[in-house]
């Protein structure tokens, strides 16, 4: 009995057909890209499959050597086509896989921490301790995870839980030893080490126990808009300053750079706004939405950042993309460096935020920067004169300069990527991008950008069809006491007029507001034409906040006169102190730099010096100038040529409180003598009190000329 021969042609044909079907499914995944071309390719594949099937079902009548040669050639063709199918399927699925990695799951974490000096203990035995926990706002996963640890370790039985409005408040309380333990995001060292006053927080605190949970963006309500990007949309670019080269998608992060882009695919116009990281705005997830640096919103997660910006700029954010700046090192190195014209010589910490012999030094001028140098250029905003010589500290730099530096690096990277075609290099680049980018776009949305990019590339071959309008938020700096960090922090107060202009420009580009045509403009051939940056100003008014001054070393009368101007009440607590002038303010219950509008009940409590009464001397009764107005004490004397102490001594003789304000100005009179008083001598104190008038005393100060 003859054994049946294995039909090799049939096996190869079936394999080829199976591989073709796999390739067709791989092609169909890219349904946002080149629909016509994809269908043509699929039709060609299917026609070839039909040919194979027909060939399998049809018995050839040819014999001999010619038949064998045809079979051999047919097998070679099938093998080559199968190899092409495999290669294309691998490439397409690998690309799709890389794109899928850009939409990472969200990791929420919480760790119980303490000062490094705190003794190691079994948590079950912990009693009578204060433990800091973030306040529950109904959506904070950090609070939920902390409660899990509390329940598992039994920490709620014999300890006091203290709620804080921010994680920075918990850190401050730990450093001040107001609490023994506190719950923070597990990556707190990476997030908060760039906060002023918390630079070495990773060395000062230790983690005792941690827990975390992982959610998809859909479950975390962070999935992107369902809007078709053929319609105008917004995208928020979030630069993360991390010490690690991989973007572990922890929801708490250090939001170092915020760029909001609006894009209109119909007109191919975009607006680009770099939001100053120190912008002082209401933070959506903070209790009462109190104002703080906008960069601090990132410590409470992506939702907090997005909601804060949406409230601030009155625009819905459809998509976001997080970019890990540390990944710039690997990306630039994979590209073989990028060409940048560095405007000034500088020194900067390395990617691990290390100074000393780890510093990065870059000279001014056009040059090829490697990864570490490009990252240092992106980060630089200070002169770092305490670490570097004057050679590296020339030239002005600040947050706005750094924002421009970052955009320069991004443009240089994009320019370099255009020229790359080596497969191995492209794979390296994709590896870096998938590790260091995160977005709330799904695969279909990402691939749909292909059509926009194609339109731009085709149209821009002859002209620059893509128009990008730069926007700018103008403002003014002001140092304000921060309740959470308990530090005086520099903030950038956005100008309302500038913000409104920026809002209008974005809404116009999104088609939400009718475009206002500019009907006329002036132009000088000598000066040339410079396009106006929307929101740049200048403006006639730059509002700031009224802040509490240092009232210590002032007299009670001066403090009361100041408080009266701001409709504040003064509550006085006297303290015996014979070493200073009686009536001198020794202490105040609120810190210097606190916003006046945030003072509870509009009342300030002052501690005022009072001299101890001697028993042998009878106490002199104070005159009531409302009832004893004929008393000489109740008549305003002439203080010209006298001293400030004489005014204070006179005021202390009657029981009524008169508002007195001292001003100092240069004069040829002897320094310290009174040169002018706002109310005439002989005026009754009763009249001054009833008219609620402030007595202004001008005192000569030393003439520096």
Which run of H or E residues covers position 384? none
* Extended beta strands in 227-376, E state: 233-240, 255-264, 269-275, 280-282, 291-293, 319-324, 338-342, 346-348, 360-362, 365-369
What does the block give as tokens for 373? 């140098």
Residue 603 clears pLDDT 80, i.e. is over it: yes
d(CA 201, CA 191): 10
pLDDT band at 314 (very low <50, low <70, confident <90, very high): very high
Omega before 538 within 30 of 0, i.e. cis: yes
pLDDT at residue 478 in the model: 95
CATH 3.40.190.10 fits 106-215, yes or no: yes
Residue 616 clears pLDDT 80, i.e. is over it: no
| Residue recorded with tokens 């250029």 | 377
Query: What tens digit of pLDDT does each residue of 50-81 get?
Result: 988 888 887 555 555 566 677 778 888 889 99
Q: Is 575:541 a contact under the CB 8 Å cutoff?
A: no
Q: Quote the mean pLDDT of the chain.
A: 85
pLDDT at residue 343 in the model: 93
The CATH class, in words, for 225-324+441-540 is: alpha beta
Residue 181 clears pLDDT 90, i.e. is over it: yes
Query: What tens digit of pLDDT does each residue of 561-571 get?
Result: 999 999 999 99
**Residue of 220 and 455 predicted with greater confidence:** 220
Give the pairing of strands 695-701 and 660-666: parallel
Residue 620 CA from chain centroid, whole number = 61
Mean pLDDT value of segment 434-460: 80
Q: Give 425-436 as a DSSP string.
A: HHHHHHHHHHHH
Q: Which of 539, 541, 544, 535 is nearest to 493 (CA)?
A: 544
List the alpha helices (DSSP H) in 358-442: 371-379, 399-418, 423-436
Query: What tens digit of pLDDT does each residue of 296-309 get?
Result: 998 888 999 999 99
Q: Is 362:342 a contact under the CB 8 Å cutoff?
A: yes
d(CA 685, CA 683): 6
pLDDT at residue 23 in the model: 92
pLDDT at residue 62 in the model: 52
Residue 617 clears pLDDT 60, i.e. is over it: no
Mean pLDDT value of segment 562-590: 91
**Beta-bridge partners for 274:** 259
What does the block give as tokens for 114? 């303490």
**Residue of 522 and 639 predicted with greater confidence:** 639
Residue 188 CA from chain centroid, whole number = 15
What 3-state DSSP class applies to 371?
helix
**Residue of 462 and 26 predicted with greater confidence:** 26
d(CA 202, CA 188): 8
Above pLDDT 90, what percent of the chain? 37
Query: What tens digit of pLDDT does each residue of 412-439 get?
Result: 887 787 666 555 677 788 888 888 888 9
> What's the predicted TM-score (pTM) here?
0.79
d(CA 650, CA 699): 16
Residue 618 clears pLDDT 60, i.e. is over it: no
Residue 19 clears pLDDT 70, i.e. is over it: yes
Establish whether domains 225-324+441-540 and 325-435 are of one fold: no
**Residue of 531 and 463 predicted with greater confidence:** 531
List the alpha helices (DSSP H) in 514-641: 556-565
pLDDT band at 25 (very low <50, low <70, confident <90, very high): very high
Query: What tens digit of pLDDT does each residue of 151-166 get?
Result: 998 898 889 999 998 8
Residue 548 clears pLDDT 90, i.e. is over it: yes
pLDDT band at 345 (very low <50, low <70, confident <90, very high): very high
Query: What tens digit of pLDDT does each residue of 643-674 get?
Result: 888 888 888 888 777 888 888 888 888 888 99
What 3-state DSSP class applies to 563?
helix
CB atoms within 10 A of CB 657: 15
pLDDT band at 479 (very low <50, low <70, confident <90, very high): very high
Residue 518 clears pLDDT 80, i.e. is over it: no
Mean pLDDT value of segment 689-695: 85
List the alpha helices (DSSP H) in 484-593: 496-509, 556-565
pLDDT band at 507 (very low <50, low <70, confident <90, very high): very high
Q: What is the CA radius of gyration of the chain?
A: 36
In the chain, domain spans: 8-101, 106-215, 225-324+441-540, 325-435, 556-701
Say which CATH topology domain 325-435 has.
Answer: Aminopeptidase (3.40.630)
pLDDT at residue 101 in the model: 85
pLDDT at residue 519 in the model: 54
pLDDT band at 459 (very low <50, low <70, confident <90, very high): low
Sign of CA dihedral 124, 127, 133, 137: positive
Buried b (16+ CB within 10 A) or exposed e, 595-632: bbeebeeeebebbbbbeeeeeeeeeeeebebeeeeeee
Query: What tens digit of pLDDT does each residue of 228-245 get?
Result: 788 999 999 998 877 665
Residue 448 clears pLDDT 90, i.e. is over it: no
* DSSP 8-state symbol, 614: P
Residue 167 clears pLDDT 80, i.e. is over it: yes
pLDDT at residue 216 in the model: 87
Mean pLDDT value of segment 539-566: 91
**Residue of 243 and 343 predicted with greater confidence:** 343
């Amino acid at each position: 009995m003859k054994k049946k021969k294995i039909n090799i042609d049939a096996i190869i044909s079936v394999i080829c057909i199976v591989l073709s079907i796999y390739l067709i499914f791989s092609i169909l995944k890219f349904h946002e890209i080149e629909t016509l071309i994809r269908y043509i390719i699929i039709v060609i594949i299917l026609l070839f499959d039909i040919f194979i099937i027909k060939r399998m079902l049809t018995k050839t009548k040819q014999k001999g050597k010619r038949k064998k040669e045809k079979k051999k050639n047919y097998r070679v063709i099938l093998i080559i086509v199968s190899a092409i199918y495999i290669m294309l399927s691998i490439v397409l699925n690998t690309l799709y896989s890389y794109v899928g990695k850009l939409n990472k799951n969200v990791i929420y974490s919480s760790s119980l921490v303490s000062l490094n000096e705190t003794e190691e203990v079994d948590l079950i035995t912990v009693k009578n301790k204060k433990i800091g926990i973030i306040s529950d706002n109904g959506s904070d996963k950090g609070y939920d995870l902390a409660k899990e640890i509390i329940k598992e370790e039994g920490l709620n039985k014999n300890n006091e839980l203290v709620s804080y409005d921010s994680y920075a408040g918990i850190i401050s309380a730990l450093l001040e030893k107001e609490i023994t333990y506190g719950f923070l995001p597990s990556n707190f060292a990476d997030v908060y080490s760039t906060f002023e006053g918390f630079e070495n927080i990773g060395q000062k605190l230790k983690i005792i126990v941690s827990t975390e949970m992982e959610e998809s963006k859909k479950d975390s309500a962070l999935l992107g808009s369902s809007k078709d990007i053929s319609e105008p949309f917004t995208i928020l670019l979030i630069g993360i300053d991390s010490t690690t080269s991989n973007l572990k998608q922890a929801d708490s992060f250090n939001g170092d750079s915020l760029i909001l882009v609006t894009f209109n695919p119909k007109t191919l116009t975009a607006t680009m706004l770099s939001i100053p990281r120190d912008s002082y705005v209401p933070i959506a997830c903070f209790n009462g939405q109190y104002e703080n640096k906008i960069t601090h919103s990132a410590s409470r997660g992506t939702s907090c950042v997005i909601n804060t910006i949406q409230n601030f700029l009155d625009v819905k954010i459809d998509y976001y993309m997080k970019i890990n700046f540390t990944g710039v090192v690997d990306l630039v190195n994979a590209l073989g460096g990028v060409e940048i014209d560095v405007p000034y010589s500088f020194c900067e910490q390395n990617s691990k935020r290390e100074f000393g012999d780890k510093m990065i030094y870059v000279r001014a001028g056009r040059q090829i920067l490697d990864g570490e140098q490009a990252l240092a250029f992106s980060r630089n905003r200070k002169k770092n004169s305490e670490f570097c010589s004057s050679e590296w500290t020339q030239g002005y730099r600040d947050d706005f300069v750094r924002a421009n530096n970052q955009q320069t690096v991004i443009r240089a990277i994009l320019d370099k990527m255009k020229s790359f075609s080596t497969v191995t290099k492209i794979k390296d680049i994709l590896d870096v991008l998938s590790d260091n980018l995160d977005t709330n776009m799904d695969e279909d949305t990402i691939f749909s950008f292909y059509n926009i990019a194609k339109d731009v590339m085709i149209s821009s071959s002859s002209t620059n069809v893509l128009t990008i309008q730069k926007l700018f938020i103008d403002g003014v700096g002001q140092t304000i006491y921060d309740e959470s960090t308990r530090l005086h922090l520099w903030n950038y107060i956005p100008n309302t007029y500038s913000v409104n202009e920026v809002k209008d420009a974005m809404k116009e580009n999104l088609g939400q507001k009718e475009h206002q045509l500019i009907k006329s403009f002036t132009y000088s051939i000598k000066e040339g034409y410079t396009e106006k940056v929307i929101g740049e100003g200048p403006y006639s008014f730059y509002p700031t906040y009224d802040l509490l001054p240092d009232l210590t070393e002032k007299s009670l009368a001066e403090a009361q006169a100041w408080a009266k101007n701001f409709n504040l009440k003064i509550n006085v607590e006297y303290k015996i102190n014979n070493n200073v002038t009686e009536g001198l303010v020794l202490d105040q219950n609120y810190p210097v730099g606190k916003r006046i509008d945030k003072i509870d009940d509009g009342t300030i409590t002052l501690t005022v010096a009072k001299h101890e009464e001697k028993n042998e001397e009878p106490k002199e009764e104070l005159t009531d100038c409302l009832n004893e107005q004929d008393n000489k004490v109740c008549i305003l004397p002439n203080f010209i040529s006298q001293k400030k102490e004489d005014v204070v001594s006179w005021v202390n003789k009657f029981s009524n409180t008169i508002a007195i304000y001292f001003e100092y100005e240069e004069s040829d009179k002897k320094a310290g003598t009174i040169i002018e008083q706002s109310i005439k001598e002989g005026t009754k104190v009763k009249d001054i009190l009833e008219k609620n008038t402030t007595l202004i005393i001008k005192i000569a100060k030393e003439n520096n000329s």
